[in-house]
Chain A
Amino acid sequence: MSDVGEVFAALSDPTRRSVMEHVARSGGATATQLAAELPVTRQAVAKHLAVLAGAGLVEARRSGRERRFSPTPAPLGDAIGWMAALGGAWDERLAALAAYAAGSPNSRSGNR
């Protein structure tokens, strides 16, 4: 299981999310190609790609003089699964909170 913390950290930056999105849509791109499509320098794109690669969200392969980055979906799937579990946990907690509130002496609901 990938480190979901690294995935969230990697995707917490909006520019980096754009880079990720472009890599995913293109199926494979170099830093130069990505920089041509985004309002950031090639150097900035390369830094973002390094962070994304560190989180396991993209992988690089040699393609001529530059490396070509392609998406690796499994860590994102793990992160999405983690978020879904988080939603389930809060559903349970808020149900318990509602029950606690309904049972409290100052509650407006039925029990008077």
Chain B
Amino acid sequence: MSCVKEVTLPIEPDDAWEAVTDPEALEAWLAESVEIDLRPGGEAAFVLPGGERRDGVVEEVEPGERLAFWWWPAPEDGETVPSGPGSRVTFELAPAVGGTRVRVTETPAGPTARAGSPVARPRAIAAA
């Protein structure tokens, strides 16, 4: 069960990549506040319009082409478990007539999205 949306941007793929990965750019359209460590296993934090806080982790970075990350509602103060379902989000870029096509896919997972995400493994390997 995924949500898939597309838009064609009137800019070159390099500029489109920056628009979907640079925190300042992301703050212009995705969220009011964005922190993101743009590498597999990198942590992310968002504050959405309306104040909802989300935590996240980057799964995959294919420069210029694809960003995949997981995000979930940040646990309430004092809690360790997220207060809602997490999901996997991908931004995929492709050259298109008129500029660059951006395809967004958000696939909700269950409440244990973080535990189940593949990026749990790189951390374990790095710690070994």
Q: Which residues of A contact B (CB under 8 A)?
A: 3-6, 8-12, 79, 82-83, 86-87, 90-91, 93-102, 104, 106-109
Contact = CB atoms under 8 A, between A and B. Distances in A.
B3 interface: yes
Given A4-B85, A12-B110, A97 B10 contact: no
Contacts of A3: 85, 111
A106 B11 contact: yes
Nearest to B20: A97
B28 A96 contact: yes
Given A94-B104, A96-B29, A9 B3 contact: no
A78 B113 CA distance: 19
B85 A5 contact: yes
Interface in B4-51: 5-7, 9-12, 15-16, 19-20, 25, 28-30
B64 interface: no
B55 interface: no
A9 B12 contact: no
Nearest to B106: A86
A94 B85 CA distance: 22
B69 to A, nearest CB: 14
B1 interface: yes
B11 A104 contact: yes
B25 A106 contact: no
A101 B11 contact: yes
Interface in B83-116: 84-86, 98-99, 102, 104, 106, 108-113
Contacts of A95: 7
Contact of B99 (A5, A83, A108): A108
A109 B7 CA distance: 14
Given A104-B15, A106-B12, A108-B99, A93 B108 contact: no
A99 B3 CA distance: 21
B127 to A, nearest CB: 27
